[in-house]
Amino acid sequence: MSEFCLLRPAVWSPEGELQEAFVHVREGRVARLEAYAGQVVPPGVPALDAAGLIVTPGWIDIQFNGAYGQDFTDDPEAIWAVAESLPRTGCAAFLPTIITAPLAVARRAMQVLRQGPPPGWKGALPLGLHLEGPFLNPDKRGAHNPLHIRLPDAAALQDWTRDNGVLLATLAPEIPGGLQAVRMLTAQGVAVSLGHSNADFDQAQAAFNAGARVVTHLYNAMPALGHRAPGLAGAALTHAQVFAGLIADGIHCHPAMLQLAWRMMGAHRVCLVTDAMAALGMPPGVYRLGDFDVTVDENSARLADGRLAGSVLTLEQALRNVMRWCDLSLAQALPALTSTPAAVLGLPEWGRVARGLPANLTLVDGQGRVQMTVAAGEMVFNRLSQA
């Protein structure tokens, strides 16, 4: 459904809130957004009763490895199929994440995005790639294959550009060539994130000064936060311009540490991410993440030695978790999966709801449960009935 009206929802956006609204989506954009006053719906245009619901900017997940049995590193061609089902979780857009692998895998993923979706496709929008590795510290590799971890150089990075669809890259700044890689990628329009790293506080600060502005899954795959050795986590928490991804599943970090990050950084520096892997949306079992088999139960995904290997978290559950653990209202928590990831990626038309902007929307009830997802003006998931 590409043209429709929503009647009487509240609308949340960084610009403010509208308690009862009339929203008309047409030709991929928000054609009308105004206070509801019994407006006449254009003939033939479906109108949906959204009273009691909240329209938010479309949710964005900047770290997403796969779902529904498909792993993007194992098969980049699965991106479009996974994206078709993803809107049921509230996700309107995401960064398909390619973890450590031969460089040819990243090039294949770039080609998949360049070729575009199959005819008739509708789903969450893959905005570009997140390349997590292979320029990592092997001592903090987590579920990344050490056989493919390597040092960065100009030849390896030359096609990692925004024009080629690379929006975010995770690397370890302390490895030889790490700072040069930060500078090169930043110059190529790529947001650089620090992760899978043993960087100390000073090394992290040097990387931030070189252009890095994000930290990947804060607290995980980095030195523990210490009172004498604050490390990468401490550098991120205390740097006023740095963003951090957080996996709010209660497994990757304790709720108390999530509260600490929220108090230090707030919703305008924290990005809620899922780090979801192929088991999302599937029953417990054994699934792939890159080169490894991962055993998944109802709550977590782990390698044979017990190390965490992604998650089975959704953005919907992450939002509800952070609201509960940090005692936040929906409006207080929403920037962390709307306007903040849009700022990380430099996407000014995302993270907002306003007349004339592209219609990328997620509708929820007061508890953050997803009722509808709209991507590029297309209703790609809907639980509502017509008025």
Residues marked as catalytic: 275
Cβ-proximal residues to 129 (8 Å cutoff; 6+ apart), any chain: 95, 96, 97, 98, 106, 109, 110, 113, 165, 166, 167, 168
* Secondary structure in 3-state letters for 168-227: EEEECCCCCCHHHHHHHHHHCCCEEEECCCCCCHHHHHHHHHHCCCEECCCCCCCCCCCC
Per DSSP, 254 falls in state -
Other CB atoms within 10 Å distance of the CB of residue 41: 14
| Per-position b or e across 98-108, b if 16+ CB within 10 A of its CB | bbbbebebbeb
Q: Which two tokens stand for residue 324?
A: 């509960």
Contact 62, 275 (CB under 8 A): no
On the 0-12 / 13-18 / 19+ scale of CB atoms within 10 A, 325 is: middle
* Three-state secondary-structure class, residue 136: coil
Nearest to 309 by CA among 284, 273, 281, 276: 276
CA 23 to CA 1: how far, in whole Å?
Answer: 14
* 272, 248 Cβ separation under 8 angstroms: yes
Check: CB of residue 265 under 8 Å from CB of residue 53: no
d(CA 90, CA 185): 31
b/e burial code for range 222-258 (CB count within 10 A of at least 16 → b):
bbebeeeebbbbbbbbebeebbbbbbbbeebbeeeeb
DSSP 302-351: E-TTS-B--B---HHHHHHHHHHHTT--HHHHGGGGTHHHHHHHT-TTSS
Kindly report the three-state secondary structure assignment for every residue of 225-252: CCCCCCHHHHHHHCCCCCEEEEECCCCC
